[in-house]
Amino acid sequence: MTTVSTGLTPDPLYRRNLEQLRRQFPQPVSDPVHDAYVVFSLLRALNEVDALKSQTPLLGHSVEPNFVQALQGKIDDQGRTLEQVIPELVKHLEGMFLWGHPRSQLNVITHPSIAGIVGVLLASTFNPNLCSDESGRGVSAAEVRATAMAAELVGYDPAQATGTFTFGGTGCTLYGVKVGLEKAQPGTLQHGVRGETVILASKQSHYCVLNVAGWLGIGQNNVIRIATHLDNSVRIDELETAARDALRAGKRIAAIVATMGSTDAFGLDDLAAIYELRNRLVDEFQLPYKPHIHADSVIGWAWSVFNDYDFVRNELGFRGRTVRALAAAHRRIHSLHLADSLGIDFHKTGYAPYISSLVLFRDQADLQFIQRDREAMPYLFQSGQHHPAMYTLETSRSGTGPMAALANLLLFGKSGLRTLLGHVVEMAEVLREGLEAHPNLTVLNGDNVGPVTLFRVYPPGEDTFTVKDRERTEAAFQAQVVKYNQLNRRVFERVHAEALTGQGVVLSMTDCYRHTDHGTPIAALKSYVLSPFTDAEHMQSIIDHVLAARDAVLAEDKMSK
């Protein structure tokens, strides 16, 4: 007889393994010594990352991610110690941009606050699941609390509004359009989409609208993309024409997506005009539904903190140009409450870590359009009173997003967000002022009122007073547009390479800020300021580096001729 079948082996291997593994988890009952080990492990990781910091805007050296090596990944037979795992993880941060570095102006990627990180850490450690308050407990209430705060901030009636945290701005748009689809064509949850249904959005709208149309079965070809003004806001006259054409053709409008802060240029649609147009069309066509208006305000929402700022008193003391820009954004953003739903990315202009996105509905009754039957989910909702999974696309939902959002809303208050946003707009204004003052540099999004500046550099001889208009309108000038696109790309590459070694500023580049009247894409250098650490001298250094890079590129061309 062996002892295997009785299970009575004294001190079997697995028990010894288990003892080890139990130390790899935070202890479920108080054990201050072990808590110290948990915290020390976090410190150990942070400490190793700290060794990668320098004056450059990235961690360690600029290394390309090694995907060939990554593909060799295999799980080991024997696990490793935590002390061995941590450096393996930290290694993957090598070459990472430091979004908060004063000379990092790449994109709308934020530098998370300490409070936001603590929010994520707590939610990760205790792991609430927000599908229901059975498993989310107080963190479910934190989601409701952050939602109420955000609803009040954008001007919704918190007693009537509702919302849910979801997977990014794309998820927000998905929710908005899905509710709109159901309003326009009741029963799509059961029967699928029948007949032609369209989404109206501007040409500057985020590509997530196309994605959502594809995934919802509306079809990307049924997204009607409306031309924009030079300030990147949708042309209301063209929107009206497109809406009328669709309705006359018997199509249904699943949603009108208003872009409230476009990604590349901070374009802000005239939501009040869209709202008025929608209501007029409902009356005129005697529609049995109200076409849903979803505001893609994942970037612009934060400017709601200026809804009750006194721009005349300007107690925070912003410069004149900044006040003008903030007031101009406010003119559009204060209409946000007219949207039926809207998206908020706390992980963009709210300084929270990814993913922290909230879709808000002005009227909680809208949730009925996406609600499932309780019978469809037998294992859920045995107790508790708050069950978002009755209408969310997700089943499990993390508490990290709501906790990070709540942390920052509490930490900053309106005044803190005004200060942070006012500062990044002020930095953009400093850059624009510098660019405008130079004869070979042009700001493309001159009317822009946000933290992003798109600009182009030209050779010394070019007349920049007229070049912008010629590029946009003259057929004979289109070859020149392409040539200047190439010049700007090469300047970008040079500035970028220098910045990675610690000189100058990391910018980004867009291949198509917008098309000329002849369909040629206009490329642009892009500065997106979000870091609270950026100051005027960093903005000035952009101009110096761009001009030096241009001269180097032109000199290279001369030599090769």
Ligand X SMILES: *Cc1c(COP(=O)(O)O)cnc(C)c1O
Tell me which residues touch ligand X (CB under 6 A). Answer: 108, 168-170, 206, 208, 259, 262-263, 296, 298-299, 345, 357
Nearer to ligand X, 209 or 457 (CB): 209
C-alpha count within 13 angstroms, C-beta hemisphere, residue 205 = 29
CA distance 452 to 403: 28
- Cβ of residue 74: shortest distance to ligand X, in angstroms? 32
- Cβ of residue 377: shortest distance to ligand X, in angstroms? 26
| Residue 270 CB neighbour total at 10 angstroms | 19
Asked whether the beta carbons of 199 and 213 are under 8 A apart, the reply is yes
Nearer to ligand X, 212 or 553 (CB): 212
Nearer to ligand X, 123 or 299 (CB): 299
- Cβ of residue 444: shortest distance to ligand X, in angstroms? 18
Which of 494, 533, 492, 495 lies closest to 511 in space, CA to CA?
492
- Cβ of residue 204: shortest distance to ligand X, in angstroms? 9
Nearer to ligand X, 105 or 357 (CB): 357
E-strand stretches of 381-466 = 441-443, 452-457
Residue 15, exposed/middle/buried by CB under 10 A (0-12, 13-18, 19+)? Answer: exposed
Nearer to ligand X, 359 or 390 (CB): 359
Asked whether the beta carbons of 406 and 119 are under 8 A apart, the reply is yes
Backbone angles phi, psi at 58, to 5 degrees: -145, 165
Residue 469 structure tokens? 């208009």
CA 251 to chain CA centroid, Å, is 31
CA distance 130 to 139: 7
CA 154 to chain CA centroid, Å, is 17
Nearer to ligand X, 208 or 481 (CB): 208
Checking DSSP bridges between strand 357-361 and strand 162-166, what pairing results, if any?
antiparallel
- Cβ of residue 19: shortest distance to ligand X, in angstroms? 43
Asked whether the beta carbons of 394 and 131 are under 8 A apart, the reply is yes
Nearer to ligand X, 56 or 263 (CB): 263
Checking DSSP bridges between strand 223-226 and strand 252-259, what pairing results, if any?
unpaired
Asked whether the beta carbons of 444 and 451 are under 8 A apart, the reply is no
- Cβ of residue 97: shortest distance to ligand X, in angstroms? 16
- Cβ of residue 170: shortest distance to ligand X, in angstroms? 4
Nearer to ligand X, 420 or 546 (CB): 420
- Cβ of residue 355: shortest distance to ligand X, in angstroms? 7
Report the residue number whose CB is nearest to ligand X: 169
